[in-house]
Chains A and B, each alone.
Chain A
Amino acid sequence: MQVAFVVLLVFAAAILAPMLHRLLGRRTGWWLALIPTTIFLYYLSRITEFQAGGSIRYSLEWVPSLGLDFSFHVDGLSYLFVLLVSGIGAAVLVFGGGYLQGHPLQGRFYSYLLLFMGSMLGLVMADNLLLLFIFWEMTSVSSYLLIGFNHQDDEARRAAWQALLITGAGGLVLLAGILLLGGITGSFSFIQLLEQAEIVRQSPLYLPILLLVLGGVVTKSAQVPFHFWLPGAMSAPTPVSAYLHSATMVKAGIFLLARLNPVLGGTAEWHYLVTLMGAVTMLVGALMALPQTDLKRFLAYSTVSALGTIVLLLGLSTTLATKAAIIFLLVHSLYKATLFMVAGAVDHETGTRDVLSLGGLVRVMPITSAAAGLAALSMSGFPPLLGFISKELLYEAKIQTPDLSPLLLGIGVLANMVNVAVAVKVGIRPFWGRPGRACCEAHEAPLSLWLGPMVFAVTGLLFGLFPDLATPLLEPAVSAVKAENVDFTLKLWHGINPVFLLSVATVLGGVVLFRLRDHIRRLGNDLRRFSGLNPSRLYDRGLQSLMALARWQTRLIQHGFLRQYILLLVMIFGGLLLFSLLQMQEGSIRWNLSGIHLLDIALAVVILLATLTVTRTRSRMTAVVALGVVGFGIALIQVIYSAPDLAITQILVEMLAVILFVFLFYKMPRFSDLSSPGRKLRDALIALACGGIVTVLVLKAVALQIEEPVSSYYAQNSVLEAYGRNVVNVILVDFRALDTLGEILVLSLAALGVVALLKLKQKSESSS
């Protein structure tokens, strides 16, 4: 129960936040942070349960017929994520309270942030994949709201829209994958999916499912080639970047990948697709991070690279790699959240995020500097921080990969060198470097801005010094991903071995990269001029060409000309008949001409001539009269074939129609704007073809036997049932009495209508 309650609680807080803000004013952030803190502490208190391999389940029926229910399943993996989301969430609420102090829409900001937090908590705790999808889309939407928070800004609006389109679309692709999964296994529950993992992997639909699910992952977790929305999303307020775009939301894709690892993982397709995707992202992210100058953009690209690393490790899916992935996930969340918040604090205090003009801040912002330094060291993998342990494990996992080892190791070392360089640029230089332009008027940030970063930085240090503190968090998570019990012991110091030497080389390489930063920036600027093919532009172009396609087909189909529409309708009609005729060979055409008289032929000729006249004439009146001739001709045929009642009706209708037409056309001009001969020819051909097809159909239908006519029933039963000898009278007042009543009604209504019309006319005459 408490699982669902947690999510509801956060959503309730989201709804109430603007009101609370009005009540509490400046301290709202602190108060609201109590909610995630409570969640955090509550779950932390249950740590032994999870360590023992326990899990929490809760299920409430929602729409059983759809297989959709509120079922939650908190296992080791979810547990780690819940702690991250609630812990970092609390810090970000406090931080956001300080950062956006006095912003007119701060209440709305809290609201969006909590909405996101609730969705994210729901996402990581959901057992039902559909529920997961729902929360997945909710994180996309709340992320949209947060990125576009400064909606007066064109850039923010564009970035928000881009992020929403990409992650939202990815979500729907994921839904398609989930639907297929459910189609195979008959259930959307992850737990039941797990039991049928083998069936899924054997299924011919395995590859489509994998591709669709990965479609969700690449978009959400900003993998190449969909990585570009993430740096764009940096136009969000910094607390948002710290929370969504580094620590939590972008990890939703990772979460899903880890979650489905026991079901979809372990195959060759998985291995190559996921690993390659991760490797490319890692490399691209690292390379693009180097030439930046904005603190946040550095961090954004290095996040892309880090996400690539985790995906790569999950793709390898050895136990060691999984361990490395999970521990790196934790480390990255800790130091990235810290660095983002530090960047925010610096921006808040100095008014700039440009690394070129920052330096020497340690003198005015000592606490922030300390947090930044610790995080930067963790990021570059210095002992004794947790980042060091993580990097060692990472290298080890790559070395032990059977087939791709050298390549992956190469990319890995390079990416980590870049990480070191970025860490120095973001976490060291602005604080300990030469004092820059924006420095000395700044003050230490207020408590709300440094508390969070400091806590995370110190946590990273503590976990590094005493790795046993971290294992209870990591072990259940790894076990959940591998779906088996995994033993986990971490050591800070492994002695001097190849992995350690690699680490040293990485740090040295990173420092060299940092030294060469100006050259790299110049190189990067030069390269950018040639990069016409970057994915962001491809996205724009893709969107444009989709629009162009849409416009083209709309113009093609929806031109607005009625005659073409009718032409299309006639052609489809003829085509369908032709198709059916060709399909069915049975039924031969009987050429029995014995019953045809001269009169029939004469009538047919007259009707044909009249029809031709209709199509040829330039006068409306002639056309109407010719149409009348067609109608009367048909009536005469009916007379000949002994259907006088039908003929009478036909003649009356024809007369009425012709008279009405004549009245209407009396004042209209002659036809103008006639079709060109070519078009006429085309229309004639189509008309002839359709006519021909229908004729064949009618000839085939000739052999019909119609049942006995109704009239005999009335003739026989007139006396028996209604005691009347005049059959017509009996039909009118007995057999079809209701019809007669209806006709009387219609006539009287018509009479009333006439009266009303006359009355209206009098009125309007008298008024005018």
Chain B
Amino acid sequence: MPALVVIAVCLTLTLTAGPILLAGANPLDAYGEYLVVPLTSRYTFLEVLVASTPLLFTGAAVGIAFRAGYWNIGAEGQLLLGAVAAAGIGQVVGELPPLVTLPLMVAGGAVAGAGWALVPALLRVRFRIDEVVTTLLLNPVALLFVNGLLQGPWRDPVSGFPESPRIAAGAELPQLVERSRLHGGFVLAILIIVAAWYVLARTPAGLRLRAAGLSPHAARFAGIDVPRTLLRAALVSGAIAGIAGMSEVAGIQYRLTGGLSAGYGYTGIVVATLGALSMPGVMLAALFLGDLTVGASSAGRALAIPSQLGAVVQGTLLLVTIGLLAVRRNRLSRAVEPAAGEVAVAAEQVTGEELPAAATAIEEAGELEVDGWPEKDRPDPTGESGRPPAAGESNR
């Protein structure tokens, strides 16, 4: 997997040389400005960590959900709801000490994010309604909700701008380093990533989640309650995205604003994909994209390359990575075919499943390494009609 990411990054940089040349800059200078320069001064280095903070949260949120085979595209909306909850709590706590208010706001953000994730998750596990569309459609609804609050009840009475009043001083996340914007949210994000890594890699709950993602049929056969696992993954994912919103409100903006999230929920998908859905990977990918974000604005000043190139690089990187992953999977399953021939035929007769299920079985026996992308074993959103019953069901 690391090799694949390196190839993806190189390929992306080659592809984006076109737009850089179009802007009249030397691509090599531009790469230096994008990737290296931000790390060379104290201020910009800390800004990289600031820019990575929301991406660490959303990357982890998306990564956990995708790992379980739950396609949460709604981190953006869950983040906004977390921000609303945090701003609401921050406005009413008054003189309470930070030791009380901050945990309260984290909890509020998590509950709000998980709550926003609840309906699509329930629809998915109860009625098998495809969560991609429902989670996606709730993003604009969340943005409208925020705008409604800011145009109406929460409009700042002092300035009259569509921004909420400032949160109480005790509700602000502490500054970590003098003369920088780096705040406690960064530490919180790292803690959450470490915790998520531990749970995924070292606990039965994590094993169940990964099993449900790799092959729901096999997981069910092994006695795992797949719907329940999916529901939990979806809620945890929403909660972490909600905390991202809390972190932006309490660490950067100190109020609710309409432009609070620069698409962090969507960038989380880039982070999770680039990080191969593993928590250490997510951490590196978030730092990398944070570097790129800071680099994009410094390249804008130094080389007159519009900073919007950052988004072009992000999009290209996502497409290249997902394309390379698909290419590798195709090659792998072809390579597996002769070896797994008999198993595959047997599996096909029993379950009507395609070959990769057999490939997964072999992988788990330790003969082959495949990344954790749940893809082919996605449950059929059309429901069960016209489909032979799976082995696990008929045996019960």
Q: Do A and B originate from a single complex?
A: no
